[in-house]
Chain A
């Protein structure tokens, strides 16, 4: 028999889906800005492996020569990104939902087992509540990254008025590098996240919109997600 199992609160769903388009706009407008001085690349022993970014990539996304526009979009949507983030973090703290989210002592070891399980190397996954150990680490990390983006962003945006933030981020250059690296981190997170959601199936995805999962009582013991 089917039963309803509550999973995600309305605020969690709201902030999740509001964040998605805002972050997309922030990454896009950030690239319009970055293009004007695109100096980052990965070079090991004199050989450049990755250049951020190749021209075909810029042209494909119509990025070149839109610096002023990029700044204008970036400095509007930064407000939404920050406010939505503050709302989520405040809710998580006040409601106590952080208990399901923040990694526990055992999470670090368990996350490894989850990874082995997800890669089909290990049969059994460790028992879990709302989130498994790997999810706890990943979802907490993404919040820390968000805070990092705001702080490094402010450090580049007002390096004179917020000189202590710039100092905290290791200077103007390093703050800009972290700000950029965090963005790459979001894209990396997004790819893994989407793959995992597809693998986890419809019922799981459904719950981030409806808030609940449908559980078949008879097979309850067998369901993991």
Chain B
């Protein structure tokens, strides 16, 4: 816009004034045009259409695209060697925060509960909670983080998802997506199918009889009361992603 060389030769008063006017006109004109364009751009983003609810929902279309692109970028930094910090048991909260009852308010028939796992072959496994409890138990005391901003050190016990997969011979399925998560996060060594909290069986409010504890994701991904596990090449529906939250919500 401006040419720094211009003023080196002092001109007559009139020609300097002309230069001042010309440069002010160009710069203020550009400023006004770009400012108006930016404001228009903001307006159209702010009023951009909300995505139709499918696998995700509730977010402005361009913002959803940005969330997905950001995920792809930050996924480059994901590693199963990046472990969540763990704490001694004594630091775990005695009263574990329970944020919502969504999905837990219907009556649970604990005796007849079976975890349904659909294999690639079409075979359906029906797994009892005792079968799961018979697997090697992993205790995890970590800082549980919520999208709302709060966090709490909590103590969960259960079977690592990798151990679960290995035991039931689900390795071929792990090439695919998991219950609303990518393979990498599900196979993270600290991802567990939890049936205990503070060494006690899960209460209904915390997702009895079996829930997902996945420390590399925000709380909204830590699904309570798991009923079935499917493996797919396509992302399944996700409750909170339909409410406008990031589908991946990785930490």
User: Do A and B make up one complex?
Assistant: yes
Given A33-B149, A72-B244, A75-B70: A161 touches B20 (CB 8 Å cut-off): no
| Shortest beta-carbon distance from A213 to chain B in Å | 10
How many angstroms from the CA of A37 to the CA of B146 in the assembled complex?
Answer: 10
Q: How would residues 52 to 84 of chain B score, 1 for a CB under 8 Å from any chain A CB and 0 otherwise?
A: 000000111011101100100010011100111
Residues of A within 8 A of B10 (CB): 1, 3
Residues of B within 8 A of A148 (CB): none
A192 at the interface (CB under 8 A from B): no
A109 at the interface (CB under 8 A from B): no
**Which residues 1-21 of B have a CB within 8 angstroms of A?**
1-2, 4, 6-7, 10, 13, 16-17, 19-20
A162 touches B77 (CB 8 A): yes
A116 at the interface (CB under 8 A from B): no
**Which residues 104-154 of B have a CB within 8 angstroms of A?**
143, 145-151
How many angstroms from the CA of A10 to the CA of B2 in the assembled complex?
Answer: 8
Q: Determine the residue in chain A with the shortest Cβ distance to B190.
A: A160
How many angstroms from the CA of A39 to the CA of B147 in the assembled complex?
Answer: 14
Given A161-B82, A210-B27: A67 touches B147 (CB 8 Å cut-off): yes
B16 touches A4 (CB 8 A): yes
B168 at the interface (CB under 8 A from A): no
A181 at the interface (CB under 8 A from B): no
Q: Count residues on chain A whose CB falls below 8 Å from chain B CBs.
A: 39
Residues of B within 8 A of A34 (CB): 149
Residues of A within 8 A of B63 (CB): 69, 72-73, 76
B245 at the interface (CB under 8 A from A): yes
A71 at the interface (CB under 8 A from B): yes
Residues of A within 8 A of B27 (CB): 209-211
A64 at the interface (CB under 8 A from B): no
How many angstroms from the CA of A67 to the CA of B245 in the assembled complex?
Answer: 9
Q: Determine the residue in chain A with the shortest Cβ distance to B240.
A: A68
How many angstroms from the CA of A1 to the CA of B16 in the assembled complex?
Answer: 9
B234 at the interface (CB under 8 A from A): no
Given A161-B82, A209-B31, A210-B24: A4 touches B244 (CB 8 Å cut-off): no
How many angstroms from the CA of A209 to the CA of B24 in the assembled complex?
Answer: 8
Residues of B within 8 A of A17 (CB): 31, 34-35
Residues of A within 8 A of B147 (CB): 36, 67-68, 71
B38 at the interface (CB under 8 A from A): yes
B28 touches A210 (CB 8 A): yes
Question: Which of A5, A79, A212 neighbours the largest number of chain B CB atoms within 10 Å of its CB?
Answer: A212
Residues of A within 8 A of B143 (CB): 172
B251 touches A158 (CB 8 A): yes
Q: A residues near B, CB below 8 A? A: 1-6, 10, 17, 21, 25, 33-34, 36-37, 39, 67-69, 71-73, 75-76, 79, 158-163, 172-173, 176, 206, 209-212, 214
Given contacts A33-B149, A36-B149, 6 further A-B pairs with CB under 8 A are A69-B59, A71-B147, A72-B63, A161-B78, A161-B82, A211-B1
